Amino acid sequence: MSAIRLGVVHTRYLLLETVRVPIAIIGALVFPALSFLFFVVPQRVVAEDPVLATQAIIQLSVFAVLANGLFGYGLSISQARETPWDPYVRSLPVPASSRIMGQVLSTGTIGFLAVIPVIVIGVIATAATATPGGVVLGLVALALTSLPFAFIGISIGYGMPSKAAIAVVQVVMFGLAFAGGLFLPPALFPDWLDAISRLLPSRQAREVVIWAVQGGDVPVFELVGIILWTIALGVLALVLYRRDEGRRFR
């Protein structure tokens, strides 16, 4: 019980710290919404087609969650490792579960906030449509498929110093976003790019969330793919975290 109470306390202060540096929020909140406004809304062929417009909303929502996971975990962890505040907090009487809860909930909150403007603009400015059940399933799928991105962020955070992390996070983010069909729909991809794209967790997340919202055939290949990515990246994150424990206190 008190672990949950402390988890809420940690969430609150992590959010407070994030909000005090507005640029961090602006990156997370504004970029997906602006991309939607500039790249989707003016393309009337897409915007006026209910199916394509809905998929565009989903693409940029996945992008919002991807960017937030990479920045939220990757940068905050690599920076935290460089200040002695982190070992100080570790020596307070707080269980590790409360700290993890704080990290996940605060990053998750920002991710959730980042999706809202995309959906709002989509509903107002395009012909996108979904059933209430589809929206709920879509949000659940979005939350679950955000795990591999969180693990990539955690791996980057523990794997490299913050200056390198900033660069790597951006390269990984744009690479996964473009090749994963989050900016341009994969229908426009040449075959060779589509083949690579289908192996990426970003593309797999896109297909799984679209399936959750719009129904249709179960995307077996993508579903299995993203589960494998989640396990592999989760193991990587754990290994890097463990390795870091010994190194930090030399």
Partner 1 sequence: MMAPLARLDSVTRRYGEVVALDDATIDVGEAEILGLLGPNGAGKTTVMSLLRGLIRPTEGRVELFGLDPRDHTARTALGVTPQETALPATLRVGEVVDFVGAHYPDRVSTTELAERFGFGDLLRRQTGALSGGQRRRLSVALAFAGRPRLVLLDEPTTGLDVDGRRELWDAIRSQRGLGATVVVTSHYLEEIEALAERVVVMSEGRIVADDSLGAILGKVGERWAVLESPRADEIATLPQVVGARIDGDRLELSLDDSDAFVHALVASGIPFSSLQLRGATLEEAFLSIVNGASR
Binding site for partner 1 (CB under 8 A): 6, 9, 13, 16-17, 20-21, 83-85, 87-88, 90-96, 246, 249-250
When the beta carbons of 20 and 187 are compared against partner 1, the nearer one is: 20
Q: How far is the CB of 112 from partner 1 (least distance, A)?
A: 22
When the beta carbons of 59 and 76 are compared against partner 1, the nearer one is: 76
Distance CA 82, CA 72 (A): 16
Largest pairwise CA distance in the chain: 60
Q: How far is the CB of 79 from partner 1 (least distance, A)?
A: 11
Phi, psi of 19 (to 5 degrees): -65, -30
When the beta carbons of 17 and 48 are compared against partner 1, the nearer one is: 17
Q: Measuring CA to CA, how many Å separate 179 from each of 45, 57, 176?
A: 22, 17, 5
Asked if residue 130 lies in contact with residue 214, where contact means CB atoms within 8 angstroms, the answer is yes
Q: How far is the CB of 245 from partner 1 (least distance, A)?
A: 9
Please report which residue ranges of 161-200 form alpha helices under DSSP H.
Answer: 162-179, 191-197
Phi, psi of 56 (to 5 degrees): -65, -40
When the beta carbons of 42 and 95 are compared against partner 1, the nearer one is: 95
> What radius of gyration do the chain's Cα atoms show?
18
Q: What is the DSSP letter of 39?
A: I
The set of residues, in sequence order, having a beta carbon less than 8 Å from that of 71 and lying 6+ positions away, is: 24, 27, 28, 153, 169, 173
Q: How far is the CB of 46 from partner 1 (least distance, A)?
A: 40
When the beta carbons of 94 and 199 are compared against partner 1, the nearer one is: 94
Q: How far is the CB of 91 from partner 1 (least distance, A)?
A: 4
